[in-house]
Amino acid sequence: MTAETFTSLINLGAAGAVIVVVMIFLNYIAKRDQEWRDFFTILNAQNTTDMRVVTESLKQLTQGIQVLSEKIESHDSTMTKKVGELEEAAITLHAVTKTVFDLNEDFQEHDKLLSESLRKMADAKRKTKKEGI
């Protein structure tokens, strides 16, 4: 508002004073409105930047989780195969162990029979020497 406008309005009396007060108030409101607009523009820009950072971080986390998931699935597949092989090896080992125990029992039985036969032969030999045959 120029000085001439201000003076003209004051010359109008009370109505002019009201108009001056309203114009000053509207000027103040326009400045405050612009300050708020600037504030929210800056805030919106910061939020947009922050959301981009959050979005990028989430994207990287998602990719990392996907890579880990693929590695875990690969590991699980490998371990499933290895567990199957170990189960087969355990079954084979059990069969071999049973066979060894069975053979050991057979050898012990044969050893008893052999020992009994040798004892009988030795007894027979002693008996024949005693009898002079």
Question: Is the separation of the CB atoms in 17 and 9 below 8 Å?
Answer: yes
**pLDDT tens per residue, range 37-95:** 999 999 999 999 999 999 999 999 999 999 999 999 999 999 999 999 999 999 999 99
pTM here?
0.47
Q: What's the CA gap between 17 and 23, in Å, rounded?
A: 10
Distance CA 91, CA 118 (A): 40
pLDDT by residue (tens digit) across 99-129?
999 888 888 888 888 889 988 888 888 888 8
Query: Rg (Cα) of the chain, in Å, rounded?
Result: 54
Q: Which tokens go with 66? A: 């996907």
